[in-house]
Amino acid sequence: MMELTRKGEYAIRGIVYLAGQPTDCICLLNDIATAVDVPATFLAKIFQQFSKIGLVKSFRGTGGGFVLARSPDKITLLEVVEAVEGRIVPNRCVAGRDECERSVTCHIHPVWQRVQNQVRDVLSAVTLKDLVSE
């Protein structure tokens, strides 16, 4: 339970590396993958997700690659994680539409909401800038 997947770990490493590059540098996926030691094909999927939700900008064709869409201090760790893992949900019943008919009277339900809020708060308090500054 509660464990970040490889995908999430890779996602963070990849985008943190990108955040650490000079602003005008258009990075190649393969270079990023090599630098952060992640299978390039897997990282490709991750960056596609980033691109779709607008965390990074991508350029195709010759001279293409990736750059951050916003400055590092405007991107939180929460956004990065939820981009690839989906919304952080400590229990099904805390997700949008409940499947659990007990949720109305359940005393545990609010505990999971508390957990969710705490975790999201911690992660949203950290930006990519915090993670690259040595």
* Binding-site ranges for ligand SF4 (CB under 6 A): 9, 91-93, 100, 102-103, 106, 108-109, 112
CB of 133 to DNA, least distance (A): 25
DSSP state letter for 127: B
Residue type, 133: S
Residue type, position 101, single letter: E
Contacts of residue 58, defined as CB under 8 A and 6 or more positions apart, other chains included, come to 47, 51, 64, 65, 66
Q: How far is the CB of 111 from a copy of itself (least distance, A)?
A: 5
Task: Return left, alpha or beta for 30; rule: phi > 0 is left, psi -120 to 50 is alpha, else beta.
Answer: alpha
Nearest to 130 by CA among 92, 58, 80: 80
Rounded CA Rg of the chain: 17
Residue 75 engages a copy of itself in binding (rule: CB under 8 A): no
Strand intervals (E) in 23-111:
56-59, 65-68
109 touches, from a copy of itself, DNA, ligand SF4, none (C-beta below 5 to 8 Å by class) = ligand SF4
| Cβ-based nearer residue to DNA, 46 or 78 | 46
88 binds, among ligand SF4, DNA, a copy of itself, none (CB under 5 to 8 A by kind): a copy of itself
Interface residue with DNA, options 17, 35, 51, 116 (CB under 7 A): 51
Residues in touch with a copy of itself (CB under 8 A):
1-5, 8-9, 12, 16, 77, 81, 85-86, 88-92, 107-108, 111-112, 114-115, 118-119, 122-123, 126, 130-133
